[in-house]
Structure formats: structure tokens, C-alpha cells
Amino acid sequence: MTLFEARNGSFAKSMYCSITLIIKFTLNIIFMKRTRNYSWVICFMLLFSLGSCIKEEALNMEADIVGVHADEDVFLLNPVISNTQVTLYLQPNIDDLTKLNMTFDLTPGASIELLKDSLKMPAGTQNIDKALVEQLLKNGVYYKVTSEDRQFTKNYLIKIVKTDGGFVPTEYGFEDTAIDKDNKYTIFYNKIDGQDFYNWASGNPSFSLTLSLGGGAKEPESYPTKTTSDAHSGTKAALLETKLTGAFGAMFKKPIAAGNLFIGAFDTGPVLTDPLSATQFGLPFNQIPLALEGYYKYSPGANVTDENMKPVNTKDSCDIYAVFYNRKQLMDSEPDPKKKVSYLTGHNILKDPSIVAIARLENGGATAADGFVKFTLPFKYTAKVDDADVANLDYSIAIVMSSSKYGDNFIGAVGSKLTVDDLKIVTKK
């Protein structure tokens, strides 16, 4: 039996109102014939009548950028928006950015302003708009979003990426890293000709939940994806390590987190409900890839366990692969505009019909001794590719690396370590 059931939102009173009514009714009966002043009874009644129903809604506390628009159709992809960063990909051949005139969709009631300090005016320049566009293209500019209740603010790094000539670099030394301001994890990016490219993502943002839950200090080394000075060249390499998720894992049946690094973006939204869709793989690429090359070393952890932390009688292995897919076909295949996305996820990264070629490390077992091992993984094409369409940025590429091959299903060995350096996409000239 349900005493009160909501109907079409018209049920705006709480059970309090009803209780108050019952009390009033009862007391009215009891004291109908009495005229004596039972002031304490009245006090009691007042206490429960006052403010006992649904209050006026509080002002919003969130301060999100949820969308970015320009006056004209200049973006190649939907803006890639994380909790603190927005990356905008321009269509090729957009040169005149004066007509850009960005507008932002925010949490209702929130406001946004340019953080003037983050804009470095070149000497002798007075034109803010020009300086802004230049810096948006180069290193990005910070904007501050303030919540409707004015109590919370969040800074976003906004970056515009020109796609002429391609923008996913073909060589990666993993030398350029940044540390996330709040959660202190490592972010890999690429500095090319003074421009910053934030193409790499990892599961680190969700591992910060584990650390919040008593899994350790929030410092770069605590995370599954980080840097190491044990490099093949330069001073740094990417180090991916499978970690225990502790209390977090116990709560949500996700006992381990493999270190991963991939081209694309990571959305913390579905990490509890649908972790495979948290990884958004792939960014536009305008060359035809022939092989993925690089140097790696891998030492698997001792004991492989499954999603229930039960031992599995197998050896852990790493995974390194690249997927080249027809993004236009992927997007056209989804009739629902709300579900139309430009990326692959953990659900379809190796099996979507839009995939035209895959390059994958066949044996991800332990590497011998302590040295780096070179790999050359040819792209195996399963569909024809139109050179002109590739040049026109209809295709995307995803590179995915993981310290536990089945880490996406929470199968792997804690302590498995994959080090990767000097990655290169060999392309058709």
C-alpha cells in the first residue's frame, strides 16, 4: 500500500503536511468543546506546520561548461569537454577566426569570464581578440566559471586545435607532461612547434576516486599511469602499472585498475555504471597509417585475479594496439543525434564496422632481461581506404596501451608494469 505516490509532479507536499493535518484534525476534535489556553499544544502544532513542505530550490552549485558554440559551423567534432578542459577541433581551412565568437553553454545560472592573467599579451599588442585567438591556438587560455550561488568556481583550459595538416602527431617521446591541479595525476601531452596538443587520456581521473577512499596519497606516483626516468631516449617514458583499487573496488566490484594510455578522452561520468564507455578512443587523423613502432618493456605481476579477486591461472600480458577507423561512417551509422559520437569506446574499439585497420602487439608477455624491446606493428587493413577522404579528415586513429590486456574487465595482475617510449606512427608518404 502506498499512502502517497507522486503524480505528474503535482505532489509537492511532504508527508509532513499530511501529518500536520492529521494532528490538527485530532486536536480539533479533542479540544472542540474546550476554551482553555493550551499554549504548549499550539506551540507543538506550530513547530510542525512551519516550513514542513518542499522548500524553494537552492541556487545551483555546479560550474560546468556543457557546450561551446561558434557563430558559424567551424568545428570538426563536438567539443571535447572534461571537468577542467575544453578542446575545440576546427574544420580544415578555417583561417579567419575573428568570426569564431565563442559562446558557452553553462550549468544554469553560472557565469564565465576570461582569466586575464592567463592571457599573455605579446609586447606591443593592444588587440585582445587577436592575442586571445593566438593563444587559444597555441597553449590555450583559462576561463573561470562561477556557479549560480557564487560559492564555487572552476577554471577551464580552453584550447583550439587547427586540423589542417593533421593534428595527431606521428611521434611521441612522452617527454611533455603536466600534473592535474586537483588530483595530482600525470597528464601526457605534446608540444610541437610551440603548440600544445592534449591528445592522450588515461583512467587516472577515475583512480583519484580510489585514492580519495583511503587508497593512498594523491601524488603522481600513486596513479596507474605516470612517467618514469627509465627511458629509451630523452628523460622520460610512459609507465603503466596495474593497481589495486582497495575500498573503491570492494564497493563497486572493480578490484583492479590497469594503467592505460590512449589517444582520445576519458569521461569519469560512467566509471561506476558502464566503465567501458568511459574511454573515448580516437581523434581525427589525415594520413594513412602503415605501422605503429616503438620501444617497450613489460614485467607482469605475479598473480592474475578476476573481477571478484579470485585467482586466475594465467600470466598477465600487456596490450599495445592502434585502430584506424572511418569516423564519418561511424557517425552516419548512428541515427539518433544524441548518441552520435566521433569516438570508439571499450565496447567496440576492436569490432566496430567502421574500423578499416588494426595494428596490434601479438604477444604481450614479459620482455626479456631489463632492456627495451622494439616493436613494429603493421596495420592490417580489412577495408578499402579512400586517400582523398583520409586527407579530408574523415578518419580517426586510436592508439591504446594497457598494463593488463583484460584490465577493461578487471582481470589482471597487480604490479604488472608496462613502459613505453618513442612511439611512432609510420604513414604512407
Answer yes or no whether residue 350 interacts with other proteins by CB under 8 A: no
Residue type present at position 152: F
Question: How many Å apart are CA 186 and CA 181, to the nearest integer?
Answer: 10
Q: Which of 46, 250, 302, 383 binds other proteins (CB under 8 A)?
A: 250
Which residue's CB is nearer to other proteins, number 192 or number 251?
Answer: 251
Going along 48-184, which residue ranges are E strands? Answer: 65-69, 80-81, 85-89, 103-106, 111-114, 141-146, 153-161, 171-172, 177-179
Question: How many Å apart are CA 318 and CA 310, to the nearest integer?
Answer: 20
Residues binding other proteins: number (CB under 8 A):
64
Tell me the per-residue interface mask from 167 to 206 with other proteins, x by CB under 8 A, - otherwise: ---------------x----------------------xx
**Least Cβ distance, residue 175 to other proteins (angstroms):** 27
Query: Looking only at residues 227 through 246 of this chain, which bind other proteins when binding is defined by CB under 8 A?
Result: 246
> Cβ contacts of residue 359 below 8 Å, gap of 6+?
289, 291, 292, 321, 322, 377, 378, 379, 380
Q: Which of 5, 73, 95, 362 binds other proteins (CB under 8 A)?
A: 5
Which residues on neighbouring strands pair with residue 398, listed in sequence order?
Answer: 323
Q: Which of 42, 44, 164, 253 binds other proteins (CB under 8 A)?
A: 44
Q: Which of 28, 39, 43, 58 binds other proteins (CB under 8 A)?
A: 58
**Least Cβ distance, residue 289 to other proteins (angstroms):** 33
Answer yes or no whether residue 30 interacts with other proteins by CB under 8 A: yes
Answer yes or no whether residue 290 interacts with other proteins by CB under 8 A: no
Answer yes or no whether residue 378 interacts with other proteins by CB under 8 A: no
Residue type present at position 311: P
Whether the CB-CB separation of 202 and 180 falls below 8 Å is answered with no
Stretch that binds other proteins, among 149-157, 236-244, 356-364, 390-398 (CB under 8 A): 149-157
Answer yes or no whether residue 2 interacts with other proteins by CB under 8 A: yes
Which residue's CB is nearer to other proteins, number 67 or number 269?
Answer: 269
Classify residue 362 as exposed, middle or buried by CB count within 10 Å of its CB (0-12, 13-18, 19+). exposed
Q: Which of 47, 128, 179, 383 binds other proteins (CB under 8 A)?
A: 47
Q: Tell me how crowded residue 176 is: count the other CB atoms within 10 A of its CB.
A: 17
